[in-house]
Amino acid sequence: ASTLGAQAAQSGRYFGAAVAAGRLGDGTYSGILDREFNSVTPENEMKWETTERSRGSFNFGPGDQIVSHASSHGQRVRGHTLVWHSQLPSWVGSIRDANTLRSVMNNHITTVANHYKGRIYAWDVVNEAFADNGSGQHRSSVFQDVLGNGFIEEAFRTARSADPGAKLCYNDYSIEDWNSAKTQGVYRMVRDFKSRGVPIDCVGFQSHFGAGGPPGNFQTTLSNFAALGVDVQLTELDIAQAPAGAYTNTVRACMNVSRCTGITVWGIRDSDSWRSGENPLLFDRNGNKKAAYGAALTALGGT
Ligand code: G3I
């Protein structure tokens, strides 16, 4: 096939992009989106600061725009994200009472997941809960500090009840290198969840890489997680300067692991990227394909 999504579909995978609702009216942007991609992730529109800016008052407008675009163009949707310490309204961050925070968290998960029920392929239920300090433990956050270690398990159980049809993922960055304490911490959590029957279906590896691309053991990391009985996905891929070889290595790592079910790049054109100064994506500012595009398509098996 001659597009990323169609080629990925030949092996039962998807190839997606992070999408901003405010850009859907840009014809160049939506032209590339609808030609190349068969999955979308709302870049900001399903985050807590947008969906529940004040307690109990929900706003699904921007997220709905993306979901309706996706459904009219045959694209699946990755929901991003239900519980995250960042882009969290200050009213949540200031709760100190555990019973209050537990009910606020569960109400948020239930209301958002229920609103989108049946339209979400996979939810990033909890995002970036592990620390970068080499401890392999959870990071400090209002959820961790007030609810304790059990908040992640509780979030997954609540999400499963709200939308039993969606795959439930844990999503994080810097967990691509097998020899890192953070990777090992997440691995132990997933192993524990699987052994105790806590509902988890997938792990998202954000894959925000420097110009060197993925660590040499990335495929090992993906297959070790998959061996626990979860799908693995590359959820926010971008690579500084987008070297073709680095994209090749990244896409190959996924293609070589049968439970690696899809890849999402974190934006369409370099000008759409949160790292736009690094030109990390597959399309240039004018919407033209870069060398990295050809590398990704070839690594998927296409021409
Ligand atoms: O919407 C407001 C706008 O009203 C305001 O005028 C403007 C002024 O700064 O800010 C706008 O909000 C920005 C928002 O993106 C929407 O454009 C925020 O400032 C900006 O911080 C926010 O950045 C997002 C970032 O997450 C926040 O942490 C990026 O777009 C988004 O790409 C990025 O995505 C994250 C993933 O969710 C999780 N993994 C890491 C990844 C990269 O940081």
Return the pLDDT at 302.
85
Atom of ligand 1 lying closest to residue 86 CA: 28
Transcribe 207-227 into DSSP letters.
-EE-TT-S-TTHHHHHHHHHT
* 236 classed as catalytic: yes
Return the pLDDT at 163.
98
Strands (E) in 84-218, as ranges, are 122-127, 167-172, 202-205, 208-209
Return the pLDDT at 303.
82
Ligand 1 contacts (CB < 6 A) are 43-44, 86-87, 127, 206, 236, 274
pTM for the full model? 0.98
Residue nearest to ligand 1 atom 21, measured at CA: 87
* 128 classed as catalytic: yes
Return the pLDDT at 290.
98
Q: Where are the alpha helices (DSSP H) in 164-271?
A: 181-196, 218-226, 244-255
How far is it, in rounded angstroms, from Cα 201 to Cα 222? Answer: 14
Provide the mean pLDDT of the chain. 98
* Helix, strand, or coil (residue 82): strand
